[in-house]
Amino acid sequence: MRGLHSLINAARTVNDESTVVNAVTLAGPFIANVPTSRRHDSIFARIQWWPSALHTVYATYGFSDQSFRNRESGGFNLLERGITAARHKHKVTLTYRALVPPNWSNSLLLGITNEEERTGNPATAPAIVVNKAFAAGPSQSFTTDKRRSFDLENTITYYGRARHSLLFGARLRGDLTNASDASNFGGTFAFGSLAQFASSTPLMFRINRGDPNIAFGVYAANGFVQDEIRVTPHLTLTSGLRYDWQSTTTDRNNFAPRFAFAFAPEKHNKTVLRGGAGIFHDNLPRSATERSLLFDGVRLREVVISNPSFPNPFVSGQSDSLRPSTIRVAPDIRSPYLSQASIGIEQQVWQKSSLTAEYSVLHGVHLFRSRNINAPLPATGLRPDPDFVNINQIESTASERSQALTLTLQGRVGKPFKTYAQYIFSHTTNDTSGTFSLPANNYDLGAERGPADFDWRHRFNLMGVLALPRAFQTGLVLSVISGSPFSITSGFDDNGDTVANDRPPGVTRNTLRGPRTIQLDLRFAKTFNIARLWGVEQGQRRDSLDFTVDVFNAINRTNVTGIVGVLSSPFFGRANSAASARTVQFSIRYRFRR
* DSSP secondary structure string for all residues of 379-400: TT---SSTT-S-EEEEEEEEEE
Residue 535 forms part of a structural domain: yes
% the chain with pLDDT above 90: 80
Query: What pLDDT is recorded for position 531?
Result: 66
Following CA atoms 550, 553, 554, 556 in sequence, which dihedral angle do they give, to the nearest 10 degrees? -140
The more confident residue out of 594 and 31 is: 31
Q: Can you give the pLDDT at residue 297?
A: 87
pLDDT of residue 532: 59
pLDDT confidence bin for 592, thresholds 50/70/90? confident
Specify if 471 maps to a domain.
Answer: no
pLDDT band, residue 356 (cuts 50/70/90): very high
pLDDT, position 544: 83
Residue 534's pLDDT is: 59
Helix (H) or strand (E) holding 308: none
**Beta-bridge partners for 172:** 152, 221
139-153, 203-217, 509-523, 536-550: the lowest-pLDDT one: 536-550
Domain assignment present for residue 433? The answer is no
Look at residues 59, 67, 48, 65 and name the one whose alpha carbon lies nearest to residue 11. 65
Structural domain count, the chain: 1
- Amino acid symbol at 251: D
Phi-psi region of 497 (alpha: psi -120 to 50; beta: other; left: phi over 0): alpha
Domain enclosing residue 568, as ranges: 485-497+507-594
- The 3-state DSSP class for residue 290 equals helix
556, part of any domain: yes
542 pLDDT higher than 90: no
Q: Which long-range contacts (CB under 8 A, 24 or more apart) does 258-261 make?
A: 258/226, 261/235, 261/236, 261/237
Whether 413 has a pLDDT exceeding 90, the answer reads no
**In sequence order, what DSSP letters do the residues of 242-254 get, joined into one string?**
EEEEETT------
Nearest residue to 90 via CA among 148, 143, 39, 6 = 148
534 assigned to some structural domain: yes
Q: Is residue 523 part of a domain?
A: yes
Identify the pLDDT of residue 255: 98
**What's the confidence (pLDDT) of residue 536?**
55
Give 35-73 pLDDT, tens digit per residue.
999 999 999 999 999 999 899 999 999 999 999 999 989
pLDDT band at 161 (very low <50, low <70, confident <90, very high): confident
Quote the Cα angle for 463-468-469, to 5°.
Answer: 165
Mean pLDDT on 532-545: 63
pLDDT of residue 540: 54
Please state whether the predicted TM-score (pTM) of the whole model is above 0.75. Answer: yes
**pLDDT interval class at 593 (50, 70, 90):** low
Q: What is the CA radius of gyration of the chain?
A: 28
Higher-pLDDT residue of 112 and 233 is: 112
Computed over every residue of the chain, the mean pLDDT equals 93
| pLDDT at residue 537 is higher than 70 | no
Cis amide leading into 311 (omega within 30): yes
No. of helices (H) and no. of strands (E), the chain = 3, 32
- Is residue 251 one of the residues assigned to a domain? no
Residue 278 maps to a domain: no
